[in-house]
Amino acid sequence: MKKTFRIGGVHPHDNKISAEAAIEIFPAIETAYVSMAQHLGAPATPVVAVGDHVKVGQVIAEPAGFISGFVHSPVSGTVKSIGPRADIAGNLVPHVEITVEGDEWMEDIDRSDTVVKDIPFTPEEIIEKVKKAGVVGLGGASFPTHVKLAPPKDKKAECVILNGTECEPYLTSDDRIMRERPREILIGGAIMMKALGVTRGYVGIEENKPAAIASMTEAAREFPQIEVVVLKKRYPQGGEKQLIDAVIRRQVPSGALPIDTGAVVQNVGTSLAVYEAVQKNKPLIDNVITVTGGCLPVQHNYKVRIGTPMSKILEVAGGVPEKAAKVISGGPMMGRAIANLDAATVKANGAILVLTEAETRRKPESNCIRCAKCASACPMGLEPWLLNKLSRAGGRFDELEKERVFDCIECGCCSFTCPAQIPLVDMIRISKAEVMKIMRSRPKK
Amino acid sequence: MTGTILITIACLVALGLLFAVVLYFVAQKFKVEEDPRIATVESILPGANCGGCGQAGCHAFAENVVKAPSMEGFFCPVGGNPVMAKVAEALGRAVEESAPKVAVVRCNGTLASRPRTNVYDGYASCKVMASLYSGDTGCKFGCLGKGDCEAACKFDAIHVDPEKGVAVVDENKCTACGACVKACPKSIIELRPKGFKNRRVTVLCVNKDKGALTRKACTAGCIGCGKCAKTCPFGAITVENNVAYIDFTKCKLCRKCVEVCPTHAINEVNFPPKPVIAKPNEENV
């Protein structure tokens, strides 16, 4: 019997219409806009000046704190400006604008296709290399990977789980890299296992990706310590806590970190980036982005340099059709609508999804009928109807905290399943932010 | 049949009397002495339980004001000075006058002056909208127009004007309870004194972006040029974070700033129309 997580979950239609589109290299761009806030934590500090010439892979910004990261130039050319620019949500974020001239790479980057399997580095060297390459979690939260590879001393890692579930509908970028570059992903996994000093590795893949399962299983024969685990199709299996439960049958307690179960979860895309960083000296300067949607004539999986404007990607993909109403960055469940199409891609962008008005239409909200569908769908075992009620009442933060609003992973299962169309996740998200702020402001014991 | 009914009635009456007597003695025995002045004060208060005074409700206000040694720190914004005078009289204390206030929406980014750059089709709540992104205009500081203030107002005094797309206060109904101030996720609404003859001069903008960005997003925004601050003879205007602010304690309502503001971000209300000064016409000379 195939494994899955034990609490909640929903089954949205998977719509993986771009699964057969092989990864294409995105054509060269004229200008790259590189955001300084591509990772969780403090935005990086630029170390280049206007007029400087930069090569592909050159460091253009350094971390500004422990939870922060390096940013590298994704193109070669001249720095045109450094200043605020609107991101996809319209918020102003410092960007470095680079006018592209040719494609000159840093000399120490190995650009050949040969797969290097031997790992001659010590754990410390690996972590340093991952940090210097600016690798962040590509599953969405963009947590700096080097921080995750160095858990606190009192916590002991026991295994590495590579996340190839890609449970969000429409997305296929992880599916494609698992089909096309399975060995590199597994070497990346082995590198992280070495860094953490563990001997057990897993790759969790949902059953709706048979080609990826076949290629990863084939490649895994070389790696006896890594096991490919086929999982049932269920959203949000790609959530860190859900994946741990599905693969190794351990539940992360409320308020604890995934490392408390001994598992370190990394996305397969991150694993590939770790491989390239450690074995090829290639920093994280590009990623695979799915351009999809039922209304597009052709779906694509592009390998795009970071800093490419979204509008440019859509233009190359064949333009936005007339009937399109909404463009989403990410999948339909957790992705965010793009308010500003001129915004440039960042490391963690995985998809651009174009939907029509009929697909995104919001039905009118009605009253809660106490069916408890939200409570059975919640993968964190919360009661979304109650959190919604408390959130709307205003100011009842103590009760919200008691009901563990901070455990919400904002997966949207509750809103998806609600027959009364109540915007549960929206209401929970706003009070979660408030409660987290109150909890953080408390003096630490 | 009639007998059964009569017996039932008799039993119930007997039980009722018995419990009444028991309850009477229990009530006497466990009587809680409450200061009678609390009830008096509560009867004077408007009873809206809006929380605008900072207390949990009208009863809590009455309780605390009776306990307190003076009237300091207690003000019912709904009832205003007349109610506070009555409360002070009932408690035999000196009256403390406080200037009546009104909520002011510091955003004039109407549909005409602030073009929409995208369409928000999510849940109609400013709080939800603000948690998702910067908003449907180029300005991330301005009024989102989804009516969280309208829902919070218990006095029907603030509404989102569908033609303007921003919240508008009805100053006759506004009691300055401050519910809208708390509800607004963008912190645009401010309580300001109603002013002499309800006349006020206010900067209707809170955009902290640099001038060029503000101008791009909204034609009515404060660009932080500082002309008003230089013009003000009373030093009432400060420009901080690219936005001007008028200190109402220093403003003497001369309106010189209104004239110099290049984007008309400074707004005057309830002033009589200016006398039209006949300009010398070249043909008449």
Query: What are the tens digits of pLDDT across the range A224-259?
Result: 999 999 999 999 999 999 999 999 999 999 988 899
CATH number at residue B57: 1.10.15
In B, minimum Cα distance to A85 occurs at: B213
Using CB atoms, pick whichever of B127, B140, B209 lies closest to residue A430.
B127
In A, minimum Cα distance to B137 occurs at: A90
Q: Which of residues 168-197 of A touch B (CB under 8 A)?
A: none
Whole-number pLDDT of residue B72: 81
| Cβ-defined contact of A430 to B117 (cutoff 8 Å) | no
Interface probe for B, chosen from A427, A428, A432, A436 (most Cβ of B below 10 Å), is A427
Please tell me if residue B241 touches chain A, with a CB cutoff of 8 Å.
Answer: no
- ipTM for the predicted complex: 0.86
Contact indicator for B243, B207 with CB cutoff of 8 Å:
yes
Interface probe for A, chosen from B123, B140, B148, B218 (most Cβ of A below 10 Å), is B123
> Tens of pLDDT along A254-300?
988 899 999 999 999 999 999 999 999 999 999 999 999 989 989 99
Position B248 in a domain = yes
Position B2 in a domain = no
Pick the CATH number of A123-280 from 3.30.70.420, 3.40.50.11540, 3.40.50.720, 3.10.129.10: 3.40.50.11540
Q: Is residue A411 pLDDT above 70, yes or no?
A: yes
Position B221 in a domain = yes
Rounded mean pLDDT, A159-171: 95
Please tell me whether residues B251 and B202 are part of one structural domain. Answer: yes
Contact indicator for B179, B152 with CB cutoff of 8 Å:
yes
Position B65 in a domain = yes
Please tell me whether residues B75 and B109 are part of one structural domain. Answer: no
| Cβ-defined contact of A423 to B122 (cutoff 8 Å) | yes
CA A247, A251, A253 angle in degrees (round to 5)? 155
Provide the shortest C-alpha distance from residue A426 to chain B (in Å): 6
Residue A344 sits at φ, ψ, to 5 deg, of -90, 155
| Cβ-defined contact of A362 to B140 (cutoff 8 Å) | no
Contact indicator for A344, A309 with CB cutoff of 8 Å:
yes
Using CB atoms, pick whichever of B121, B131, B134 lies closest to residue A91.
B134
Average pLDDT of chain A? 93
Please tell me whether residues B147 and B74 are part of one structural domain. Answer: no
> Tens of pLDDT along B3-32?
899 999 999 999 999 999 999 999 998 888
| Cβ-defined contact of A426 to B122 (cutoff 8 Å) | yes
Provide the shortest C-alpha distance from residue A19 to chain B (in Å): 29
* Alpha-carbon torsion (B158, B160, B163, B165), positive or negative: positive
In whole angstroms, give the CA distance from residue B24 to residue B22: 5
- Which chain A residues are within 8 Å of B181, Cβ to Cβ? none
Please tell me whether residues B116 and B166 are part of one structural domain. Answer: yes
Please tell me whether residues B109 and B87 are part of one structural domain. Answer: no
Please tell me if residue A360 touches chain B, with a CB cutoff of 8 Å.
Answer: yes
Sheet holding A53-54: strands in order across? Answer: A31-35, A92-100, A77-86, A53-54
In B, minimum Cα distance to A422 occurs at: B123
Provide the shortest C-alpha distance from residue A142 to chain B (in Å): 18
The CB density around residue A414, as the number of other CB atoms within 10 Å, is: 30
Please tell me whether residues B64 and B143 are part of one structural domain. Answer: no
Contact indicator for A159, A196 with CB cutoff of 8 Å:
no
Interface probe for A, chosen from B121, B180, B186 (most Cβ of A below 10 Å), is B121
Q: How many structural domains comprise chain B? A: 2
Rounded mean pLDDT, B102-124: 90
Q: Is the model more confident about B78 or about B280?
A: B78
Rounded mean pLDDT, A335-349: 92
> Tens of pLDDT along A200-217?
999 999 999 999 999 999
Position B18 in a domain = no
Burial grade of B121 (CB within 10 A; 0-12, 13-18, 19 or more):
middle
Domain boundaries, chain A: 123-280, 373-441
Position B283 in a domain = no
Q: Is residue B285 pLDDT above 50, yes or no?
A: no
Q: Which residues, at least 6 apart from B46, have a Cβ–Cβ distance to it below 8 Å?
A: B58, B76, B78, B79, B83
Please tell me whether residues B127 and B255 are part of one structural domain. Answer: yes
Q: Which residues, at least 6 apart from A101, have a Cβ–Cβ distance to it below 8 Å?
A: A76, A77, A78
- Which of these, A33, A39, A95, lies nearest to A69 by C-alpha position? A39
CATH number at residue B159: 3.30.70.20
User: What is the span of the domain harbouring residue B218?
Assistant: 101-269
Please tell me whether residues B54 and B115 are part of one structural domain. Answer: no
Please tell me whether residues B74 and B118 are part of one structural domain. Answer: no
Interface probe for B, chosen from A93, A341, A430 (most Cβ of B below 10 Å), is A430
Q: Is residue B280 pLDDT above 60, yes or no?
A: no
Please tell me whether residues B78 and B194 are part of one structural domain. Answer: no
Please tell me whether residues B220 and B127 are part of one structural domain. Answer: yes
Position B243 in a domain = yes
Predicted structure pTM score: 0.85
Position B173 in a domain = yes
- Which chain A residues are within 8 Å of B138, Cβ to Cβ? 90
CA dihedral A271, A137, A66, A245 (to 10 degrees): -90
Whole-number pLDDT of residue A255: 84
